[in-house]
Chain A
Amino acid sequence: MKNKNPNILTMKRKETFAGYFFISPALLFYSIFFIFPVTFSFLISFKRWNMLRPLSSSPWIGFRNYIYLFTRDDLFKASLINSVIYAFVTVFLTLSIALLIAVVLLNIKYAVVWRFIFFAPIVTPQVALGIVWGYLYDPNRGLLNSILSFFGIPTHHWLTDPSLALFSVMITAVWAGIGGPLLIFTASLKGIPDLYYDAAKIDGANAIKRFWYITLPLLRPTLLFTIITGLLGAWQVFDLIYIMTRNAPAESVWVVSLYMYQIAFQSLRMGRASAAAFILFLIVLVITLIVLRIFKKGGIEGYE
């Protein structure tokens, strides 16, 4: 090992320095807008701070915020469960429906028009979507109940009934979220060579078998990407819940992001809100790692 050339080492050091030099603007930006706020929030999560007193004079309370959230705060636990339900159900439904539509639209005429129609909600602000869907869900004047009552089906209080409110928002979220994955799936489907399908047809595979044994395995990298980005987005849902479910009982509709907002800015407990944010971060991290591991076992790598 002694015979390593010192010139090569110096060269490597210079290259390393140059590398860091070139990424330093990005690193600086990342530090100011990510590392500093995250570290600051982590510090706050161990304090009782109302944002009015100087942080230095607010008491250090150790893990009390975390313990409170898990042992005594029913609203946080309910919000966490709602977040989990919301994230998994909306991502599963959105991706399933988007994939199905992408497959159906792949070879039909005017597919671009249909893709535009499905993509339109993506470019519409969530607040506007929430307000419009709020009108559709109105129990007495809404379109949905009018259709149900026309067919003699019992009507519902979609956004206030505790057992329905969260699912009503999820329907809106699924409708609004199909467009993005639809485009990604379409691009991926177009990348699958036809010869695989031709060979399968010769072997007698029907459409379902071709989808199951050719399309799905070859879409796995795309699925991994859409699942992870979909889950990350779903954990952070705020606008739709905030706009659509203000009249429903909090425990039935609050998600962790809404909980954090209310606890920080209504209850003036920034420490507890930060602790909730870190718990959510850990949960998201663990679930993302599990998803990556599942896909890694299936042969998808390079996302670590």
Chain B
Amino acid sequence: MVKRLFLISLLILGLSILSWGSIKLVMAVHWSDYQVNGVYDKNGNLVSKGLKQYVDEYMHLNPDVKIEIQSVAFDDYLKKILITHMSGKSADVYLLYSLWGVQLVDSGILNVPPRYISEDVKKNYVESAIKGTTINNVIWGIPIEVDNYALVYNKKLLKEAGYSHPPKTWDELVEMAPKLIKKDNKGAVKQYGFAFLAGWDSAVVHPYLSLLYSCGGKMLAPGYKKCLLNSPEAIKALNEELRVFKNGGTDPSASVWNFAQGTVAMIIMAPWYESSLKIAFGDKFAETVGVAPIPYIDKPANVSYAWFTGVDSTCKHKKQAWKFLSWLCSEIQPNTKTTRLGDLMAETIGAIPPRIIDLKNHPKQLEDVYTRTFIKELKHSIPEPNVVQGAEIKTTLMNEIVKAWHGEQTAKQALEKATKKINEILSEYY
């Protein structure tokens, strides 16, 4: 009996010693299955690498490091961060939406990256991505994705209505949208000219901010002490959105998601929608889908947001975590002159990688008909503000805009209410 107990103890001790040698990192991501596991053809051959293949490669090169990928849907991602943090089981490495950054930094969740990482970010990334990753003048991680918006239109539907080009100005869009609507003999809409999307704060607020910037307006005053959404420019921008409803070019039941079914002629969308559209339209993607800059009101303008990778402040192996992220996101591969994350973003995920060298060296993926407009538009893109309670501020603005879409209040009333509520939120923190 004693002998057996001794052997068991020896076995446990041996396993413990073995496990001391390995470093375990948990990486939380919000990506879908194909983005994590890669894209395979019908015969099961890997066509495009997912995150898992890169992680496996890193673990092969560094046998002492074990990395576990934990993926949850975007809708549940922030909740996962909150709950795992409360339960003391935080991930070590996160992908983070820039809007959440301030709160995470304020609450001490994020670890400041080593100097070699922040210096690299400052030198090698597009400005909107650097701004998205910077909070209180400190860079908090490595940018992995920058998104802005463009007008995505259905070439065939525009052609059927007699239009050979998409609208350049907002006035043109307002005029074209009702002519692209098709109704059956009982009045049911079979095809929308233009579609917004209620119920998702980014889908409501980002297109509105693009129009606001086009009118020369701003959402918040410098230092985030005051909301400026009751300005004449802000009211003008929302009134311009409301014109599309009043002219009969859309209604609140229209949805950007119906574009993929060919029942919406024009939407304002982000670059990551390309993969879904390619699946939906198949071989007819190139002849059906067109992309143009957002039709401007007074001047071309756009809004952008960023995602970055960060390391949790409670991570036991911070140095190794940053080393892994640097290998994945910043290290240039000699044969392609691109980063691994750049490849993943451009080839599998269909998003714009924010590292300048990746933008240059992915011509096939980033200079295609769909994505090149978004890249060109980066020069007009103003980053979404990194403000405390950013998500709450965005939802507040969305709720008021959606009420205006439904004709429950005027643009002025909506924005004055939003301004009052947002000022209350800002006054708590600034």
The answer for the CA separation of A159 and B408 in the assembled complex, in Å, is 15
**Complex contact A247–B104 (CB within 8 A):** no
Identify A250's interface contact among B187, B253, B399, CB under 8 A. Answer: B399
For residue A107, CB closer than 8 A to chain B, the reply is no
For residue A251, CB closer than 8 A to chain B, the reply is yes
Question: Which residues of B246-303 are within 8 A (CB) of A?
Answer: 251-253, 255
Number of interface residues of A (CB under 8 A): 32
With both chains docked as a complex, state the minimum distance between the C-beta of B263 and any C-beta of chain A, in angstroms.
8
The answer for the CA separation of A262 and B424 in the assembled complex, in Å, is 18
For residue A70, CB closer than 8 A to chain B, the reply is no
**Complex contact A139–B188 (CB within 8 A):** yes
Query: What band does the interface of chain B fall in when counting residues whose beta carbon is under 8 Å from A?
Result: 20 to 34
With a cutoff of 8 Å between Cβ atoms, the chain B residues found around residue A83 in the complex are: none
**Complex contact B252–A262 (CB within 8 A):** no
**Complex contact B79–A265 (CB within 8 A):** yes
With a cutoff of 8 Å between Cβ atoms, the chain A residues found around residue B82 in the complex are: 51-52, 265, 268
The answer for the CA separation of A249 and B402 in the assembled complex, in Å, is 6
With a cutoff of 8 Å between Cβ atoms, the chain B residues found around residue A150 in the complex are: 186
For residue A4, CB closer than 8 A to chain B, the reply is no
With both chains docked as a complex, state the minimum distance between the C-beta of A147 and any C-beta of chain B, in angstroms.
11
**Complex contact B198–A149 (CB within 8 A):** no
With a cutoff of 8 Å between Cβ atoms, the chain A residues found around residue B402 in the complex are: 247-250
For residue B392, CB closer than 8 A to chain A, the reply is yes
With a cutoff of 8 Å between Cβ atoms, the chain B residues found around residue A248 in the complex are: 198-199, 252, 402, 406
Closest residue of chain A to B263 (Cβ to Cβ) is: A140
With both chains docked as a complex, state the minimum distance between the C-beta of A263 and any C-beta of chain B, in angstroms.
8
Q: Write out, one digit per residue, whether chain A residues 110-122 have a CB within 8 A of any chain B CB (1) or not (0).
A: 0000000000000
For residue A157, CB closer than 8 A to chain B, the reply is yes
Q: Write out, one digit per residue, whether chain B residues 181-200 have a CB within 8 A of any chain A CB (1) or not (0).
A: 00000111110000001111
Contacts A149-B186, A249-B403: A140 and B107 contacting too (C-beta < 8 A)? Answer: no
Closest residue of chain A to B403 (Cβ to Cβ) is: A249
For residue B109, CB closer than 8 A to chain A, the reply is yes
Question: Which residues of B376-430 are within 8 A (CB) of A?
Answer: 389, 391-392, 395, 399, 402-403, 406, 408, 424
Binding site for A on B (CB under 8 A): 78-79, 82, 85-86, 103-104, 106-109, 186-190, 197-200, 251-253, 255, 389, 391-392, 395, 399, 402-403, 406, 408, 424
Given contacts A149-B187, A157-B252, A247-B199, 16 further A-B contacts (CB under 8 A): A51-B82, A52-B103, A52-B104, A52-B107, A52-B109, A149-B186, A160-B252, A162-B406, A246-B198, A246-B199, A247-B252, A247-B255, A251-B403, A265-B79, A265-B82, A268-B103
